[in-house]
Amino acid sequence: MTTSALRPPVLRPGDPVMLVSPSGPTTPELVARGVELLTGWGLRPVLGPNAYARHGYLAGDDVLRAADLNAAFADPEIRGVICTRGGYGAQRVVDLIDMAAVRSDPKVVAGFSDITALQFALWRGARLAGVHGPGAAWRDERLPLASVESMHAALMTPAPVTVAAVAAEESFGVRVPGRAEGVLLGGNLCLITASIGTADMPDLTGAVLLVEEVQEPPYKIDRMLTHLRRAGALDGLAGVAVGQFTDCADGWDTTVVDVLTDRLGDLGVPVLGGLPIGHGPGQLTVPVGTPAVLDATAGTLTVAPAVR
């Protein structure tokens, strides 16, 4: 696996950032809080022309969503790209991205959930480091001050990010002690699994894999992890960082912790659960595509900045 990442410049007060919707649709009411936060940091949010488009469960058709991404990457004034939300649809547009524009003028791209597909594509096409964090459709009830500060730090300070495991997180019970070093790659488990067989599935040899999920019952988590194992995608991993597995329960006795322990615990690498990264309350932001140290014994994940 190539470990050298293309790290975009840190965002600075006065920088314009474009808000785009590569996946599902959103509304001005939901994005208003994100605009307020970004403006409070001194940034200048610029709405993508099609950010509020809607085409069923997509934020406009594929051509429109790709056009906003390419407009952001091609505009020399725009210094960052903030996705409004996840949902579904990023995989439908990633092959339309102008990777030459991404490589010639790298910009920090922030998002999570379905945006994992976009982060994978940008890693494949440009080795662009990104930011796994909340979208501009910001919800204060889920994202308290710590979430605000974490996102601000990841975008606007070229400093390493350290996230500690939290006992209150359901995945806290998933742990294999040890210390691992490698590039942090991954994000939402569904999107990682859906990338198998595509050009965007990264070679995870020597990597620290980040996994998180929402509203998937334990048997589906089992199925996805088993698929990754059988496809050989987990061969050669350095370690696994387990984020939030939010609302992942059903009526069976087997819990998501049981499944994660069973499917990840015998890989022979350090595994650390309980990281507040994902869809749950108190979500924190981490770079992806940069070197990380997973200390499962101490309960911390430290990641080099995505920005320089």
What does the alpha-carbon distance between residue 300 and residue 159 come to, in Å, rounded to a whole number? 16
pLDDT at 2 over 50: no
Q: Which residue in 20, 14, 8, 3 sits closest to 105, CA to CA?
A: 8
234-291 pLDDT per residue, tens = 999 999 999 999 999 999 999 999 999 999 999 999 999 999 999 999 999 999 999 9
CA proximity to 42, closest of 68, 19, 71, 12: 12
Q: Is 149 a catalytic residue?
A: no
Active-site annotation holds for 113: yes
Of residues 21, 113, 147, 150, which has the active-site annotation? 113
pTM of the model: 0.97
Of 149, 151, 28, whose CA–CA distance to 80 is shortest? 151
305's tokens: 């900045």
Query: What mean pLDDT value characterizes the chain?
Result: 97
Please say whether the beta carbons of 122 and 146 come within 8 A: no
The predicted pLDDT at position 237 comes to 98
Q: Is 212 a catalytic residue?
A: yes
* pLDDT, tens only, 155-198: 999 999 999 999 999 999 999 999 999 999 999 999 999 999 99
Q: Which of 169, 170, 212, 213 is catalytic?
A: 212
Rg (CA), the chain: 18
Read off the pLDDT of each residue in 135-161 and give the average, rounded to a whole number.
Answer: 97
Q: What percent of the residues of the chain are helix, what percent strand, and what percent coil, each to the nearest 5?
A: 30, 20, 45
Question: Cα dihedral angle (22, 61, 79, 99), rounded to 10 degrees?
Answer: 90
What the chain holds in terms of domains, given with CATH numbers, is 16-156 (3.40.50.10740), 161-303 (3.50.30.60)
Dihedral of the alpha carbons of 303, 92, 199, 197, in degrees to the nearest 10: 100
In this prediction, residue 3 carries a pLDDT of 55
